[in-house]
Structure 1
Amino acid sequence: MRNGSLVRRRQLARTLRELRVHAGLTIEAAAPLLDFSPSKLSRIENAHQGVDVHIVRSMLDLFDVGGDRWTEILELTREASAKGWWRAYGLDDRGYVPLEAEASTIRDFTVTYVPGLLQTADYARALFETSFRRRSEATLERDVTVRMIRQARLTSAERPLELFALIEESVLHRPVGGTAVMRAQLARLVEAASLETVTVQVLPTGIGAHPGIDGAFTVLSFEGLGEPDMGYVEHPMGAVHVDKEEDVTRARLVFDHLRTVAHSPAESVALIERVAAQM
């Protein structure tokens, strides 16, 4: 069984909404037949409220769903309700990690630091230690551990995660954690670039202004789940999920353009190795 997450809940919510519409029922008509208020049914159909298999069985009966479809939807309900591995580390289902756990492809553009999926533990720890967000030693180590666990999917045989990492050249020269930590981090980038699932490209400083100069962003794709791509942007006050189609499409176009003006993967690796040798 796959880990439950926002993506799975959204998939279930969309399915239940489509079944209601196909049954010819409005929310106002269906809700009292399920002993719900219209607002509760609306929350369920928008993935703002979870449901268990008992509630879903009642909905499937009302919408006259049976056979294999019945079994598939109940299994999806169980998957959407399952606790993801991140819950054991004190994280909830509303952040970035649950989205990444269901993604098939990540397009990550970073302008100030190495992408989290390619960070060494020491590099990640140095970033966390300089954050204004106060962390106890235990919380710090937990966050580093979570970041390392996430990276396992890059080499997973069962559910590999494909990563396209686009990194501003200045990131290579910023000695996060000191020279030794940074040298090891650059070596990690070179090592990761050799994986079939990872493509690393460096955006040269010399190109000047470019469409991504406004800041870093991530686009997540969910092949096989029927979910549209999502965007994710971190900022000093928190983070935001972006699911408006035109915004996500624009982000993909910007990313694809930046890849055309960035160093090729081979040139990028050579540059990273030169920077490391000069440290």
Structure 2
Amino acid sequence: MLAKQLKLLREQAGLTLEEAAPRLDFSMSRLSRIENAQVRIDVHWVRGMLDLYDVGGGRWSELVELAREANQPGWWKAYGLGDTSYIAFETEATRVHIFSLGYVTGLLQTGDYARALMVAVPVQRTAEQLDNEVAARVYRQQRLTSADNPLDLVTVIDESALHRTVGGPDVLRAQLDRLMTLAGLDTVALHVLPASAGAHAGLASGFTILHFGDLGEPDMAYVEHSLGALSLDKAGDVARAKLTFERVLSDALDPAESLALIRRLAGR
């Protein structure tokens, strides 16, 4: 977020990378890496950039404080995880819209369900790394019940995910029980897209839309796929994601109907 703001301020000041870099005693490649969030930036450098871009008052103080925060390690560091883009953005988000196609979304997973999903993916991990990743996924869910920093979740789960015996029948049953519990939270709106909906707008993949509230950051979309993940922040891409979510949401059951379906599946 800091990097995006600094790039925007440079452009608003009418300076190109070639013009700004030497005036900041940076190489052009270094300034480019800073603006693309590829390297951390010292608070003193931020002050110099704000002076060059003629930024003052409350905006100056806000960005200097953001620079201090950006240099603090994220909570996920305690779990041995790197600065992965999604966890960092979700930590700053105030609301997320998630459509999950093949599995229950991470914010609603039990530890055993998450572990079974991770083991199924051909990524080499030590036992400790696996334990840390599962713990981090469960830790993220605390914001759904946080009084100080809540995260609002609207999720649409394709019914096929509720039938897939990830981890075996007992793990799936515990996962369905977990969904019934979380569906009662004020911060969670859980919808199931029934199999009877047939072909639908989100059939190609699941995806996430992140909203940042009062931070002044534009919404962004995030897509995970079998070979990696993709972050999208261009207005057109995000608008398409929002339209797709609205369509799958319109085809989905309402929360009460969704809860009744999950309850029936758990009873089998």
Q: What residue is the counterpart of 1:3 in the other structure?
A: none
Query: How much has 1:21 moved relative to structure 2?
Result: 4.4
* 1:139-158 equivalent positions in 2, closer than 5 A: 139-158=129-148
Q: Which moved more, 1:127-136 or 1:244-253?
A: 127-136
For 1:222, which of 212, 236, 241 is the aligned residue?
212
Q: Which moved more, 1:53-62 or 1:64-73?
A: 64-73
Letter in structure 1 aligned against 2:160: S
Distance 1:131 1:253, change over 3 A: same
Q: What residue is the counterpart of 2:172 in the other structure?
A: 182
Letter in structure 1 aligned against 2:7: R
Distance 1:23 1:246, change over 3 A: closer
Q: What residue is the counterpart of 1:6 in the other structure?
A: none
Q: Which moved more, 1:147-156 or 1:92-101?
A: 92-101
Query: How much has 1:49 moved relative to structure 2?
Result: 3.2
Query: How much has 1:78 moved relative to structure 2?
Result: 0.5
Q: Distance in 2 between matches of 1:23 and 1:126?
A: 51
**CA deviation digits over 1:14-34, x for unaligned, max 9?**
433344445454433332222
Distance 1:33 1:115, change over 3 A: same
Count of paired positions: 268
Q: Distance in 2 between matches of 1:128 and 1:29?
A: 47
TM-score (norm 2): 0.93
Letter in structure 2 aligned against 1:265: P
Q: Which moved more, 1:189-198 or 1:135-144?
A: 135-144
Q: Which moved more, 1:193-202 or 1:174-183?
A: 174-183
Is 1:80–2:70 an aligned residue pair? yes
Q: Distance in 2 between matches of 1:99 and 1:15?
A: 15
Letter in structure 2 aligned against 1:261: D
Q: Does the 8 A contact of 2:194 with 2:253 survive in 1?
A: yes
**CA deviation digits over 1:2-44, x for unaligned, max 9?**
xxxxxxxx3x234333444454544333322221223322332
Q: Which moved more, 1:119-128 or 1:86-95?
A: 86-95
Letter in structure 2 aligned against 1:44: I
Q: Does the 8 A contact of 2:116 with 2:166 survive in 1?
A: yes
User: Per the alignment, in what secondary structure is the counterpart of residue 31 of structure 1?
Assistant: helix
TM-score (norm 1): 0.89
Letter in structure 2 aligned against 1:263: L
Distance 1:26 1:187, change over 3 A: same
For 1:105, which of 95, 98, 101 is the aligned residue?
95
Q: What residue is the counterpart of 1:255 in the other structure?
A: 245
Letter in structure 2 aligned against 1:162: D
Superposition RMSD on alpha carbons, in Å?
1.8
Q: What residue is the counterpart of 2:233 in the other structure?
A: 243
Q: Which moved more, 1:16-25 or 1:95-104?
A: 16-25
Which structure 1 segments of 5+ residues have no match?
A: 1-9
For 1:130, which of 117, 120, 124 is the aligned residue?
120
Query: How much has 1:274 moved relative to structure 2?
Result: 0.6
Query: How much has 1:245 moved relative to structure 2?
Result: 1.6
Is 1:267–2:257 an aligned residue pair? yes
Q: Distance in 2 between matches of 1:151 and 1:58?
A: 38
Q: What residue is the counterpart of 2:201 in the other structure?
A: 211
